[in-house]
């Protein structure tokens, strides 16, 4: 049994009590002051000791820990606008990142082949994750993990989750693999060159260089072996790719591009879908695929496979998963996307999204509350509007659709006056 996992299991019963206590007070308002934080910390250290953390680690790890206002602000901050696919993709799969990926693939070929042989995850995919997470190890974060997790555990919003991660981080220190000073990362607690949360560090990390320790910051073998092991455990299928860009025929039913409807490649081909270069789909291998529109009807469409879902288990975002897949493709010389960013492509603010929803409700396409979140009801209502007005029914909210809804609302008001 993995030594890390054994430590986790040994402290599980005590930690269950800790989590239960946290849940009771999650709804209790907390005045976020340094004084109250330090009082909370005293109680937490008592619970951590009961969970099996040594006094030495507790003393060392919390020696200079304070309430981190920056972490609280980042946790509270709600996105004021949603980036479009192209805005996100152009940053994530930049020319610089592609070139660095090509360089690192060549430089670390031997190590990458070892990881691929052991876990079945292709070299290009490993490099793409590495590039997406920390730009190939160039920036792993500079916030002390114990302080960030303690701050987030003190805050009641997600206390149960972060308390568990904090206990796990203390266990990592207790095992002697890294020091608290070395343990720095993102504001939310992700660590190392592939940005593992402490729980994933304990469960999936691997001593890739054989030195008896696991250091995801300074040891690239540890980082890449751990990434490969994690993806294997998440269900990576070595005989499949992640997906591919495809061409949709004129008049295609965009309702099928819902990221849920599965068809065989042969069935998708029957519906007129081709490779992005216009060639027929390869249908010799029968495997399920899901159709996904990255943007509106003017953007790229993808057929994605089961490994796409695995990427999303690492980070549950379609944009992220497409970027990982496409970065991996570009690193090995595959062509650029066939679709480019439209001139009017611009992220929607929360207020603009609410305006879309309000207009849909007013025009008789109910979406419920105008909450600024483009859920399934909003997309269906938008698709119904598009069908009625003989537009490409992709159900995708955008600045373009906001303008068309405003125009329709103005016309509707004119007709009533």
> pLDDT by residue (tens digit) across 251-288?
999 999 988 899 999 999 999 999 999 999 987 777 89
Identify which of 303, 307, 308 has the alpha carbon closest to the alpha carbon of residue 268.
303
> pLDDT by residue (tens digit) across 209-234?
999 999 999 999 999 999 999 999 99
Quickly state the pLDDT bin for 416 (edges 50, 70, 90).
low
Average pLDDT over the chain, rounded to whole?
91
pTM for this model (two decimals):
0.89
Q: In this structure, what are the phi and psi dihedrals at residue 297, rounded to the nearest 5 degrees? A: -65, -15
Identify which of 247, 269, 244 has the alpha carbon closest to the alpha carbon of residue 335.
244
Average of per-residue pLDDT across 33-39: 95
Here the tokens at position 42 are: 């005293």
Are the C-beta atoms of residues 227 and 130 closer than 8 Å to each other? yes
CATH number (3.40.50.920, 1.10.530.10, 3.40.50.150, 3.30.1360.120) of 243-331 reads 1.10.530.10
Are the C-beta atoms of residues 381 and 367 closer than 8 Å to each other? yes
Q: Where are the domains of the chain?
A: 3-67+142-191, 243-331, 348-416
Here the tokens at position 310 are: 């695995």
* 263: three-class secondary structure by DSSP: strand
Average of per-residue pLDDT across 139-150: 97
Whether pLDDT at 110 is above 50: yes
Per-residue three-class SS string for 119-167 = HCCCHHHHHHHHHHHHCCCCCCCCEEHHHHHHHHHHCHHHHHHHHHHHH
Here the tokens at position 399 are: 């600045």
What is the predicted pLDDT for the residue at 198?
97
The vertex-334 CA angle with 332 and 337, nearest 5°, equals 135
Average of per-residue pLDDT across 385-394: 95
Q: In this structure, what are the phi and psi dihedrals at residue 282, rounded to the nearest 5 degrees? A: -80, 115
Are the C-beta atoms of residues 392 and 296 closer than 8 Å to each other? yes
């Amino acid at each position: 049994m993995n030594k890390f996992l054994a430590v986790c299991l040994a402290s599980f019963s005590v930690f269950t009590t800790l989590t239960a206590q946290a849940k009771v007070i999650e709804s209790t308002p907390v005045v976020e002051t340094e004084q109250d934080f330090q009082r909370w910390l005293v109680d937490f250290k008592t619970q951590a000791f009961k969970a099996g953390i040594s006094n030495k680690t507790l003393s060392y790890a919390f020696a200079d820990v304070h309430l981190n206002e920056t972490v609280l602000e980042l946790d509270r901050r709600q996105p004021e606008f949603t980036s479009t696919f192209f805005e996100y993709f152009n940053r994530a799969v930049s020319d610089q990142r592609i070139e660095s990926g090509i360089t690192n693939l060549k430089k670390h070929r031997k190590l990458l082949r070892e990881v691929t042989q052991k876990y079945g995850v292709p070299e290009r995919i490993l490099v793409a994750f590495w590039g997406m997470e920390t730009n190939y190890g160039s920036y792993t974060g500079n916030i002390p993990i114990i302080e960030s997790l303690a701050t987030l555990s003190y805050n009641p919003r997600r206390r149960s989750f972060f308390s568990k991660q904090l206990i796990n981080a203390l266990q990592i220190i207790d095992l002697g693999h890294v020091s608290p000073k070395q343990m720095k990362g993102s504001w939310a607690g992700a660590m190392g060159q592939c940005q593992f949360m402490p729980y994933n560090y304990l469960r999936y990390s691997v001593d890739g260089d054989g030195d008896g320790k696991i250091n995801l910051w300074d040891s690239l073998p540890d980082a890449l072996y751990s990434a490969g092991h994690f993806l294997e455990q998440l269900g990576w299928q070595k005989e499949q790719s992640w997906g591919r860009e495809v061409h949709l025929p004129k008049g295609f039913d965009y309702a099928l591009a819902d990221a849920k409807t599965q068809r065989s490649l042969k069935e998708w081909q029957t519906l007129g879908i081709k490779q992005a270069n216009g060639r027929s789909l390869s249908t010799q291998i029968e495997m399920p695929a899901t159709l996904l529109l990255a943007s509106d009807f003017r953007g790229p469409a993808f057929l994605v496979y089961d490994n796409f879902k695995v990427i999303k288990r690492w980070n549950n975002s379609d944009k992220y998963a497409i970027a990982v897949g496409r970065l991996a493709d570009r690193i090995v010389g595959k062509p650029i996307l066939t679709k480019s960013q439209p001139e009017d492509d611009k992220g929607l603010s929360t207020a603009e999204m609410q305006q879309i929803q309000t207009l849909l409700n007013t025009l008789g396409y109910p979406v419920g509350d105008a909450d600024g979140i483009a859920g399934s009801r909003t997309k269906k209502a938008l698709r119904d509007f598009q069908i009625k007005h003989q537009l490409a029914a992709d159900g995708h909210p955008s600045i373009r659709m906001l303008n068309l809804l405003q125009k329709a609302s103005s016309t509707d008001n004119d007709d009533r006056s």
